[in-house]
Amino acid sequence: MNCRGLCPPCYSQLLQLQPTAVDPALSEFFNENSPVPDDEIPRILDILDSASAHEAFISAQYKQAQQVMDHLLQIRAKQSQFIARHTSMMSTFRRLPNEILGEVFQFCVVAEQKDDSKPYMPVVGKKGDIRWRLAAVCARWRRIICDGMPKFWASIGIDNASLMDSEKVHVDPLLCMSLVRSGSYPLSVEYNLFAGSWFRGVMPAVDRKCMELIWKESRRWQEITLVDFPLEEVLGTSSPHAHALLHNRLPLLRKLSIRPTISPQIPSQMTLPTPSYMRLTSNTFVYTTLRGLSSPFPFPNYSPMKQTMIYMASCLSWV
């Protein structure tokens, strides 16, 4: 478009418009409100008709000018957006390699944490997740975050009891998406089950599905914290999840923390599967915590290459 302006003479003519001028010979009738003689009535009517036509012309010009102004304001806003969007393409930040940009994203995550000693653990389904905010900036950022940063998605927090109903419906697909995007990266999971608040002691369907998804990835567990969990669900003989924890080899596990549920609705004791003990082996295991039990469960045996935790088959009662 050639930006030379639109008909400057037309604007000049409009700026020269003046209100209706009265013939001095008739000023006494208009200014002093004197009675108009019969012979002057035709002239007065002509002046009023001319003034009405002039007013209609001014109104029409104003309406056109208003439409032009509205159009110009819209075009100006779009033009400003165009300039801002394309000017940012020349920013040095835009030209950073993907690897450096990924490091910047990692720094942004750490900067948002209140306690830098803890890993970033976003709650699945919770609004305001910084990963989604960054991924929404542009297609390039989305590719980097969603496809090139598995570590970003390997820290998973599950706290469905804190979510609104509108957020819970998205937990299942978002958790699946996080597990896929984390690739083969070791997982750090913090799962707050809030079993003490279950209605009639029945696990909600959304938590049941989340447990199935997390337990399927047990070979990738590096750090896992189970908060407000009934031990029967984790280690009990009737639990389908006990096999993953007691029978599967967990090669990457470094930390296992279980904070059991204390509730009259949840069984206060449990028996481990036979044989009389189970072994959970890991080459990298550091420590485990199991709070609320009177038994020293489990206890570690050290060897130069790996550490083996031996679970004794006995009834464990709450403290």
pLDDT digits (tens, 9 = 90+) for 147-194: 888 988 998 888 887 777 777 778 888 889 999 999 999 999 988 887
| pLDDT reading at 278 higher than 70 | no
pLDDT of residue 70: 93
Cα-Cα-Cα-Cα dihedral of 90, 93, 94, 97, to 10°?
Answer: 130
β-bridge pairing 269-270 and 277-282 = unpaired
Query: pLDDT tens-digit profile of 115-129?
Result: 555 556 778 877 777
pLDDT: is 268 or 128 the higher one? 128
> Strand runs (DSSP E) across the chain, as ranges?
155-158, 187-192, 221-229, 255-260, 269-270, 277-282, 287-290, 299-302, 307-312, 316-317
Structure tokens at 279: 């072994």
Query: pLDDT tens-digit profile of 22-43?
Result: 777 777 777 777 787 888 888 8
The helix/strand/coil state of 87 is helix
CA distance 36 to 30: 9
Burial of 272 (0-12, 13-18, 19+ CB in 10 A): buried
